């Protein structure tokens, strides 16, 4: 049977993620050190796992309400207030989702009419553009620059706004660059958006991983922006809970109402066991988060220094768990650098070009890996750089 004429053209037109191909290659190799996968290397803290197990023992194995357990929404509300000084009503302004991923999907689908444009700063997480396209929107890429520490500038934003602009996606702290936007940066963007109806989808999944004494600021905190910002967050990165698939969206009632409808038809409710674990994580997990952040911070400093000592130009990331060194000095393309490093030294890093325009010339190194692995990876990268010079 020929499926090309049967399957959705829009789906067939989506380009597969550049990262997947690379991981397939990685699977076949032994003795590899991976700084590739963007996922915490810590286990979910025990008391959180226990809460999930305990909920099963108690027989909590049914659907929850569509928006999520009210107990969990209350914890999310408290967490948002405590950590980010944001106020969301557990009844109507919070939706529990299957990871931040579902939240992003719902946000785009709830906002976009066919042909609407969504401004997506790049290099960034590979999901945004495909999700916008599947919602029948048009991704408009805003290329962030290393010389701006991979922030979005008001000039860059204002140059891309058209009558069709529906939303701006804000991916901070950033995967893959580790860049952040501070309050003054966000205020400058808010000025550009003033007087328009442009919405903001703010992916704050790495908010807890902000370093150097800086505290994450949400776009929803900026005067005038609360009413038009959809905050996407979750526990995957902050609490080392990627496999539990726990995310949440916070926004004004009319937006959450539409997102909840989509969630109800497509998902029903987020996994019940995970929701009970998430209640415990948000209620009693602040210390775990702080400990993991401290550990990541040590690795961040170590890796940045190590890469710089090897002669790679490396902007100092202030968030997430990625370092994004420039590899242009090697004369290799990002793809070639990654492939040759993997084949010759068995170290996996991800090509910057996988993260959209603006990523070429850089590679993403994830430091959610042990100090032992980071040390060994640096030694091998050093050997590789020597071999490339010759």
- Give me the residues that bind ligand PMP (CB under 6 A), please: 38, 99-101, 125, 171, 175, 203, 205, 234, 236, 242, 247
CB of 39 to ligand PMP, least distance (A): 7
Q: Euclidean distance between the first and final Cα of the chain, in Å?
A: 52
> In whole angstroms, how close is the CB of 9 to ligand PMP at the nearest point?
26
Which of 367, 384 has the CB closer to ligand PMP?
A: 367
Nearer to ligand PMP among residue 22 and residue 125 (C-beta): 125
Q: Quick check: 134 and 141 in contact, CB under 8 A?
A: no
Q: Quick check: 273 and 224 in contact, CB under 8 A?
A: no
- DSSP assignment of 40-66: --SPPPHHHHHHHHHHHHTT--S---T
Q: Please state the closest distance from residue 204 (CB atom) to ligand PMP, in A.
A: 9
Q: What does the DSSP 8-state code read for residue 153?
A: P
CB of 337 closer than 8 Å to CB of 304: no
Taking the complex as a whole, how short is the minimal distance between the CB of residue 51 and ligand PMP, in angstroms? 19
Kindly state the greatest CA–CA separation across the chain.
64
Tell me the closest approach of the beta carbon of residue 5 to ligand PMP, in angstroms: 33
Query: CB-wise, 321 or 384, nearer to ligand PMP?
Result: 321
Judged by CB, which is closer to ligand PMP: 256, or 320? Answer: 320
| SS3 category, 128 | helix
Measured from the CB atom, is 36 or 99 closer to ligand PMP?
A: 99
- Residue nearer to ligand PMP on the CB measure, 205 or 385: 205
- Alpha carbon separation from 36 to 39, 228, 358 (Å, rounded): 9, 35, 19
Would you state the torsion angle of the CA atoms of residues 227, 180, 78, 96, taken in this order, to the nearest 10 degrees?
70
Residue whose token pair is 């702290």? 173
Rounded to a whole number of angstroms, the minimum distance from the CB of residue 244 to ligand PMP is 9
Name, in order, each residue with C-beta under 8 angstroms of 382's C-beta and a sequence gap of 6 or more: 310
* Residue whose beta carbon is closest to ligand PMP: 99
């Amino acid at each position: 049977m020929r499926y090309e004429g049967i399957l959705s053209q829009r789906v067939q037109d989506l380009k597969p993620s550049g990262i997947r191909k690379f991981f397939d290659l990685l699977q076949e190799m032994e003795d590899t050190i991976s700084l590739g996968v963007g996922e915490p290397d810590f286990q979910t803290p025990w008391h959180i796992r226990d809460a999930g197990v305990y909920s099963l023992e108690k027989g909590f194995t049914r659907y929850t309400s569509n928006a999520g357990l009210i107990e969990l929404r209350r914890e999310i509300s408290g967490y948002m207030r405590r950590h980010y000084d944001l106020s969301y009503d557990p009844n109507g302004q919070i939706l529990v989702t299957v990871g931040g991923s579902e939240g992003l999907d719902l946000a785009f689908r709830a906002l976009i009419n066919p042909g609407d444009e969504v401004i997506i700063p790049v290099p960034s997480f590979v999901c945004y553009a495909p999700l916008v396209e599947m919602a029948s929107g048009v991704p408009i890429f805003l290329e962030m620059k290393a010389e701006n520490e991979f922030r979005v500038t008001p000039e860059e934003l204002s140059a891309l706004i058209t009558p069709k602009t529906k939303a701006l996606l804000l991916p901070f702290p950033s995967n893959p660059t580790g860049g952040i936007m501070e309050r003054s940066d966000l205020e400058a963007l808010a000025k550009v958006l003033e007087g328009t109806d442009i919405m903001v989808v703010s992916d704050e999944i790495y908010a807890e991983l902000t370093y150097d004494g800086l505290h994450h600021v949400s776009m929803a905190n900026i005067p005038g922006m609360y009413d038009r910002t959809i905050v996407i967050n979750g526990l995957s990165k902050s609490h080392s809970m990627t496999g539990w698939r726990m995310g949440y969206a916070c926004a004004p009632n009319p937006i959450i109402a539409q997102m909840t409808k989509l969630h109800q038809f497509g998902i029903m409710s987020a996994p019940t066991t995970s929701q009970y674990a998430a209640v415990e994580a948000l209620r009693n997990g602040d210390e775990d988060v702080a400990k993991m952040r401290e550990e990541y911070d040590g690795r961040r400093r170590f890796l940045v220094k190590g890469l710089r000592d090897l002669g790679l130009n490396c902007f100092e990331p202030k968030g997430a768990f990625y370092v994004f060194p420039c590899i242009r000095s090697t004369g290799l393309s990002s793809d070639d650098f990654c492939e040759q490093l993997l084949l010759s030294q068995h170290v996996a890093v991800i090509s910057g070009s996988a993260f959209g325009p603006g990523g070429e010339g850089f590679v993403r190194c994830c430091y959610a890996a042990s100090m032992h692995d980071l040390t060994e990876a640096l030694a091998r990268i050093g050997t590789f750089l020597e071999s490339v010079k010759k």
